[in-house]
Structure 1
């Protein structure tokens, strides 16, 4: 059965790690061919890398990517996005565009209203209707096909546009559709979330070595324990509280460890940490990026 993306040309503006994760996922999981993908990047190394790695065409010209693509992925750093859009929107191939373009931003901290403003400020009313913005917030496990992406739809987005975006995001892992107002919370929970687990893993490994286990063995024990716990969360048929209770015998070793964690305010500390990340995301999102 053909993919919904089988007749679409997908262009990437920016060819860094997350763009490469998306390209790899699209090639492996969405059934699209290399000649359907085009990427632009100012760095020669990045262009050569994606061209060689994925057998796609790479160029220096962002406007060429826009002109030749049905779906355009804005895959540049948030601080670079306003200047990239400004340069793009000055090009006649943008201002004289006559075809509907789905524009997907994966830049953190740039809310849809700001994105839409930068994309459409210089366009006529009719031309604005042809620019359709969607925001996807992936996380770094997308690099290994286990991503968690948040998706928020902009004005003028049709159901078929959402299906396209869901298919693209879903090729990297799982997708959660949320309103723009909750994207900062999603960024705090899943966007930053891998770092919380990495910190926990670091602490577990350090504790293991402190107790006399070699670093290599502590790493193996920690990684497999986390993988096993996640597998139980996915397939154990119970909620996390029940799973925790099953491994916690009264007066046992696990109960002793959990008592120390709760004595230190573990649950409250995690909530405070994720709330702080959410608030920082809001702060960054509320800043109006400067356009050259």
Structure 2
């Protein structure tokens, strides 16, 4: 893929994750310009990746692709600054949680294609799940460009934008739910008398192995759970206790709460 300059506005954890993925995918550091409010952060990325650091306006001038990775509450100010500088044909990729493409399009020119992305933190180890949605002026070629950019950070799925709040609740916030389960299982192991390091290794590998089994076999989660659950056995006793405490219902309610919060942030 031939690329001109890419401007990456926002050099936090997810911004750096995307930057590292781009370089793994064959981009040159000389093709990427980064910005951040913290000069010392820009200096780190220049030293680490060989990119260029500038101000926001300078970064987007001449850029073919502009990737915005800032907090949603900071986006209006940023778009007011760079909007007049975005030329027709520019692709603007937003990783700002809860911000609709329509909201961004209202602040930039009609010739700017906008694609919305909901990534998640496993992208840091190239195992992310990103959902992308095209705005009103983005076409199939724009989606292909974004898919190509994100491929080095994990899997990419194109979805209608109306699903983005649910995506945020499931995969965007999802790692936190799984880490919560892991944390609880580790603490349970300690309570049962296991040393913390042993409990941690047991739980982490069990989570990793279970996810791999689910992914590689294509088995239904219920089927795989039943494979472990012998009648009258230890697993059956544990699952019965989880059901008695309403864990399944609690997960569903929690994910609905995350979806509702995403809707509130997006104003939908």
Q: Same fold (TM over 0.5)?
A: yes
* Partner SS for 1:233: helix
Count of matched residue positions in the alignment of Structure 1 and Structure 2: 268
Query: Is the 1:74–1:105 Cα contact (8 Å) retained in structure 2?
Result: yes
Instruction: Give the deviation of 1:100 after TM superposition.
Output: 1.3
Q: Which has the higher contact order (CA 8 A, sep 6+)?
A: 1
Distance 1:204 1:62 in 2: 45
The counterpart of 2:15, out of the listed 11, 15, 19, is 19
Instruction: Give the deviation of 1:52 after TM superposition.
Output: 0.9
Query: Is the 2:102–2:136 Cα contact (8 Å) retained in structure 1?
Result: no
Query: Is the 2:168–2:259 Cα contact (8 Å) retained in structure 1?
Result: yes
The counterpart of 1:275, out of the listed 248, 256, 263, is 256
Call closer, same or farther: CA 1:204–1:58 in 2, change over 3 Å: same
Distance 1:162 1:228 in 2: 33
Distance 2:5 2:222 in 1: 46
Instruction: Give the deviation of 1:45 after TM superposition.
Output: 1.0
The TM-score normalised by the length of structure 2 is 0.96
RMSD: 1.3
Instruction: Give the deviation of 1:141 after TM superposition.
Output: 1.0
* Partner SS for 1:42: coil
Query: Is the 2:6–2:66 Cα contact (8 Å) retained in structure 1?
Result: yes
The TM-score normalised by the length of structure 1 is 0.89
The counterpart of 2:37, out of the listed 42, 49, 55, is 42
Q: Show the counterpart of 1:123.
A: none
Query: Is the 1:104–1:134 Cα contact (8 Å) retained in structure 2?
Result: yes
Matched, 1:79 2:60: no
Q: Deviations over 1:254-278 (max 9, x none)?
A: 1010000011112111111101110
Instruction: Give the deviation of 1:8 after TM superposition.
Output: 3.1
Q: Show the counterpart of 1:290.
A: none
The counterpart of 1:247, out of the listed 219, 225, 228, is 228
Instruction: Give the deviation of 1:7 after TM superposition.
Output: 2.6
The counterpart of 2:219, out of the listed 238, 243, 246, is 238
List runs of 5+ in structure 2 lacking aligned partners.
Answer: none
Which segment is superposed worse, 210-219 or 232-241? 232-241
Q: Deviations over 1:137-156 (max 9, x none)?
A: 11111111111111000112
Matched, 1:193 2:213: no
Q: Show the counterpart of 1:211.
A: 192
* Partner SS for 1:73: strand
Distance 1:40 1:235 in 2: 40
Matched, 1:259 2:259: no
Distance 2:166 2:215 in 1: 22
Distance 2:257 2:135 in 1: 26
Query: Is the 1:136–1:169 Cα contact (8 Å) retained in structure 2?
Result: no
The counterpart of 1:102, out of the listed 91, 100, 106, is 91
